[in-house]
Amino acid sequence: MHLAHLRLRDFRNYARLDVDFAPGFHLLLGDNAQGKTNILEAIYLMATLRSFRGVGGAQLVRQGAKGYFVGGTVVGRGKAEIKMYWSAAERNLSLNGQAVKKISDYLGALRTVVFCTEDLQLVKGTGRVRRRFLDLLLSQTQPGYLTLLQRYALALRSRNALLKQRTVDEAALESFSRELAAVGTTLTRLRRELVPRISPLARLAYRRISNDAEELRLEYAPSVKTDLAVELAASRARERAQRMTLVGPHRDELQLDLNVRPAAQFGSEGQKRSIALALKMAQAEYLSGLHGVAPVLLIDDVMGELDVKRRSGFLPLLEAAHRSRGQVFMTCTEENWPRELGLELHRWRVTGGTLAPA
């Protein structure tokens, strides 16, 4: 799978961009604040319909413009044409000329894995970040998962709104509780089944990076110990006091341990960075194994932050993508691009919202 063409209109600092990309390794060179990361963000947006920087659509519109357009041609087993437009008044998404009505039917048209400085939050951040990591991977690989996730989020919001009222509508609360229990039980099961599949990949990646210095362990820790419906009923008094739903997959956790101790509390900064990198490497390898084709790798100035040891553990993933005629986009400055990658690179110069072969 590779992105063969990218078209941007009024996206971030790009007024207009049309560019063709071959399979292989693309190095985006340039000073800071020139638009290198914006290219990666546009590609990731086409794959997931969200920015990896955690911002909304309004922040993606070029200053002075009404809306942005992002489109592209993806070549895999077939060819997919993606077009999306966002403005405060209008939002359109189409795949091969047809309006997308269900997001679950769209995801998978382009698969990407992004490596960026924000990945450190997978270890240091709240459980919500780690749950989102699992949910994205399941949305990319499990048909219908996104629909379940949306149903759960809707039931949770509705149930919490009821719990905030002075007088609770018991019949409505019970209805949302049934929906929450039915959907939530399935979400928990699918997440629990996923973790043992990616855990060996993450452990192996961490060993490569750390030279077997520590043992990484991933474990899914659900907030529900027995039955979600039973525990929802049992927690009703506490929920009314706190005016929110206190149990369910929205409270679950992905535990990350190094030598049986929580990595967030006891790991060094270097160890936390290595764990985050290992998790993303596991995501890429899992997608490759499941679909038989590597996802597009987006690497945002990460290599410059890695020491020689961590670079050497990361490079096999890039080499595997190269051997399988996959596609990699990496941003970096002229000074810190990794010489270990050799000379088989497509070099691009990024300057003030323009992209040209270097």
CATH number for the domain spanning 324: value is 3.40.50.300
Residue/partner pairs of 199-207 with CB below 8 Å, 24 or more apart:
199/282, 201/281, 201/282, 201/285, 201/286, 202/278, 202/279, 202/281, 202/282, 203/278, 205/277, 205/278, 205/281, 205/282, 205/285, 205/313, 205/317, 206/274, 206/275, 206/278
pLDDT at 338: 60
Please give the chain's pLDDT, 358 residues, in tens: 999 999 999 999 999 999 999 999 999 999 989 999 999 999 999 999 999 998 999 999 999 999 999 999 999 888 999 999 999 999 999 999 999 999 988 999 999 999 998 899 999 999 999 999 999 999 989 989 999 999 999 999 999 999 999 898 999 999 999 999 999 999 999 999 999 999 999 999 999 888 777 899 999 999 998 899 999 999 999 999 999 999 999 999 999 999 999 999 999 988 998 999 999 999 999 999 998 888 999 999 877 667 777 777 777 877 777 777 789 999 987 666 566 666 578 999 999 999 999 8
- Number of helices (H) and strands (E), helices first, in the chain? 11, 15
Positive or negative torsion for Cα 61, 64, 66, 72: negative
The verdict on 82 and 226 lying in the same domain is: no
Measured in whole angstroms, the distance separating CA 82 from the mean position of its chain's CA atoms is 19
Give residue 243's pLDDT.
Answer: 95
140 shares its domain with 199: yes
User: Residue 230 corresponds to which tokens in the numbers above?
Assistant: 């039973």
Residues 287 and 309 in one domain: no
Question: Residues 29, 348: contact at Cβ < 8 Å?
Answer: yes
Task: Read off the tokens for 280.
Answer: 């993303």
Give the C-alpha separation, 6 to 86, whole Å.
16
DSSP codes joined into one string, 177-210 = HHHHHHHHHHHHHHHHHHHHHHHHHHHHHHHHHH
Please indicate, yes or no, whether residues 66 and 205 belong to a single structural domain of this protein: no
Quick one: 83 and 181 in the same domain?
no
Q: Which of 253, 270, 291 is the last residue of a domain?
A: 291
- The separation between CA 96 and the C-alpha centre of its own chain, rounded to angstroms, equals 24
Q: Which pair of structure tokens corresponds to residue 298?
A: 């987006």
Whether residue 123 sits in one domain with residue 251: yes
Question: What is the CB neighbour count within 10 angstroms for residue 241?
Answer: 10
- Residues 182 and 307 occupy one common structural domain: no
Residue 298 near residue 43, CB atoms below 8 Å: yes
**Is the CB of residue 43 less than 8 Å from the CB of residue 73?**
no
Asked whether the whole model's pTM tops 0.85, one would answer: yes
pLDDT at residue 341, rounded to an integer: 63
Count of C-beta atoms within a 10 Å radius of residue 233: 12
At residue 213, the 3 state secondary structure works out as coil
Q: Rg of the chain over CA atoms, in angstroms? A: 22
In terms of domains, do 218 and 315 share one?
no
Q: What is the pLDDT of residue 310?
A: 75
Do 44 and 114 touch, CB atoms closer than 8 A? yes
Strands ordered across the beta sheet of 261-262? 216-221, 253-258, 261-262
**Which CATH number goes with the domain that contains 145?**
1.20.1050.90
Q: What is the pLDDT of residue 321?
A: 79
pLDDT at residue 85, rounded to an integer: 98
3-state SS string for 142-178: CCCHHHHHHHHHHHHHHHHHHHCCCCCCHHHHHHHHH
Are residues 175 and 242 both part of a single domain?
Answer: yes
Same domain, 252 and 129: yes
Residues 124 and 236 in one domain: yes
Question: 30, 350 in Cβ contact below 8 A?
Answer: yes
Instruction: Retrieve residue 234's tokens.
Output: 């049992």
Residues 140 and 284 in one domain: yes
pLDDT at 356: 95
- Torsion from C-alpha of 128, 133, 136, 138, nearest 10 degrees: -110
Number of structural domains, the chain? 2
pLDDT of residue 217: 96
> CA-to-CA distance for 61 and 15, rounded, in angstroms?
10
pLDDT of residue 342: 60
Residue 306 zone, left/alpha/beta (φ > 0; ψ -120 to 50; rest): beta
What residue numbers bound the domain in which 5 lies? 1-111+295-358
* Distance, CA of 212 to CA of 218 (rounded, Å): 16
CA distance 314 to 304: 12
